Amino acid sequence: MRLLKALLLGLPLLAVVSATAAASTSSGNFGWDVGITDNARYGEWFFGVLMWIISGIVIFVFGLMLYIMVRFRESKNPVPSKTTHNTLIEIIWTVVPVLILLALVAPSFKSLFDQDIIPETELTVKVKGYTWHWQYEYVGMEDQVEEIISTPLSREDAIAQGREYLLATTAPLVIPSDTAIEFLVTSDRNLHSFSMDPFWLKVDAIPDRINHTWTKVDAGAEGTYYGQCAELCGINHYFMPIEIRVVTRSDFDKFVASGGDLASLPVETNDLGIQTAALEK
Ligand SMILES: [Cu+2]
């Protein structure tokens, strides 16, 4: 029954540490950026929940070990107990983890299905990984807008333009906000991964195969967002960032009407990629 006592002692300790941790992270989401899609917000919420559970388990187990090491040290406990089984405790430490895992199944599958099941979309973009750059095409609009070849700016150009080297590209993919967009993702020669953290989106780009995913960026979240190829695809793997410019529907229509002219877009004021390049000057 000493172990039961230890369990009971561990729980208040867990509560105190959790409360302290909660107070130290203002948003409670462990510093993750606030997402700009429904899927991102759900994923971040679930990530936060998992972190609390994981932290709780770690603290509880270490607390228990510490208690046992002190309480049953040789000098205090010269004649060790010969107990080898305790049915009640064995049932508890089998059933409780099973219950925790069962509770995590539903949100985890919801997050997967939300990304995998593509709703009715209004725009389809073909994304193709090359060694080493990305190419984008608006499906069904090939006559109006040419394919976008998106290569990173050279170091000199990035610094000259006050933009972030290895994030900023020669031409971003332009997409409208508040619009469900399907991405058809493939690759030219080798494995890449189309990965956009702010959208909670990541899908492998595989030669001769087409993977699907989708996104819908919040209205009001217009701006320039960055991702990077998330597959170790070769020597210039670092040289294929993903730059996506999110604009309003009407700006997107103007962009299409102009034949894909970036100059038709309003001046970008929400570009995180302007910061460190400016500092490097
Ligand atoms: Cu790649």
Count up the domains in the chain and report the number: 2
- Looking at the fold, whether 91 and 161 belong to one and the same domain comes out as no
Name the residue range of residue 226's domain. 123-280
- Looking at the fold, whether 47 and 167 belong to one and the same domain comes out as no
Whole-number Å distance, alpha carbon 190 to ligand 1 midpoint, is 8
Whole-number Å distance, alpha carbon 212 to ligand 1 midpoint, is 17
How does pLDDT run across 182-230, given as a tens digit for each residue?
999 999 999 999 999 889 999 999 999 999 999 999 999 999 999 999 9
Whole-number Å distance, alpha carbon 10 to ligand 1 midpoint, is 47
Q: Per the structure block, which two tokens stand in for 224?
A: 């320039």
Enter the DSSP assignment of 219.
T
Check: CB of residue 194 under 8 Å from CB of residue 100.
no
- Looking at the fold, whether 224 and 246 belong to one and the same domain comes out as yes
Check: CB of residue 170 under 8 Å from CB of residue 150.
yes
Whole-number Å distance, alpha carbon 183 to ligand 1 midpoint, is 17
How does pLDDT run across 209-219, given as a tens digit for each residue?
999 999 999 99
- Looking at the fold, whether 137 and 111 belong to one and the same domain comes out as no
Q: Which pLDDT value is given to residue 48?
A: 87
Q: How far apart are CA 154 and CA 277, in angstroms?
A: 12
Check: CB of residue 197 under 8 Å from CB of residue 188.
no
Q: What element of type H or E holds 146?
A: none
Q: Residue 279 corresponds to which amino acid?
A: L
Q: How far apart are CA 278 and CA 23, in angstroms?
A: 35
Out of 116, 150, 177, pick the residue that ends a domain: 116
- Looking at the fold, whether 86 and 179 belong to one and the same domain comes out as no
Share of the chain above pLDDT 90, in %: 73
Q: Which pLDDT value is given to residue 23?
A: 46
Whole-number Å distance, alpha carbon 131 to ligand 1 midpoint, is 7
Q: Which pLDDT value is given to residue 281?
A: 47
Q: Residue 20 corresponds to which amino acid?
A: T
Out of 116, 141, 168, pick the residue that ends a domain: 116
Q: Which pLDDT value is given to residue 277?
A: 46
- Looking at the fold, whether 130 and 109 belong to one and the same domain comes out as no
| Lowest mean pLDDT across 29-38, 72-81, 115-124 | 29-38
Q: How far apart are CA 51 and CA 109, in angstroms?
A: 17
Q: What angle do CA 5, 10, 13 make, to 5 degrees?
A: 140
| Lowest mean pLDDT across 52-56, 158-162, 212-216 | 158-162
Whole-number Å distance, alpha carbon 99 to ligand 1 midpoint, is 40
- Looking at the fold, whether 81 and 131 belong to one and the same domain comes out as no
- In the predicted structure, residue 142 carries a pLDDT above the cut 70: yes
Q: Which pLDDT value is given to residue 17?
A: 55
Supply the mean pLDDT for the chain: 88
Whole-number Å distance, alpha carbon 150 to ligand 1 midpoint, is 13
Whole-number Å distance, alpha carbon 196 to ligand 1 midpoint, is 13
Whole-number Å distance, alpha carbon 29 to ligand 1 midpoint, is 29
Whole-number Å distance, alpha carbon 175 to ligand 1 midpoint, is 21
**What's 112's domain CATH number?**
1.10.287.90
Enter the DSSP assignment of 235.
T
Check: CB of residue 187 under 8 Å from CB of residue 129.
yes
For ion ligand 1, residues whose CB falls within 5 Å: 192, 229, 233, 240
Whole-number Å distance, alpha carbon 73 to ligand 1 midpoint, is 55
Whole-number Å distance, alpha carbon 206 to ligand 1 midpoint, is 10
Confidence of residue 32 (pLDDT cuts 50, 70, 90): low
Whole-number Å distance, alpha carbon 108 to ligand 1 midpoint, is 27
Whole-number Å distance, alpha carbon 192 to ligand 1 midpoint, is 4
Q: What angle do CA 102, 108, 114 make, to 5 degrees?
A: 145
Q: Which pLDDT value is given to residue 267?
A: 86
Out of 64, 92, 116, pick the residue that ends a domain: 116
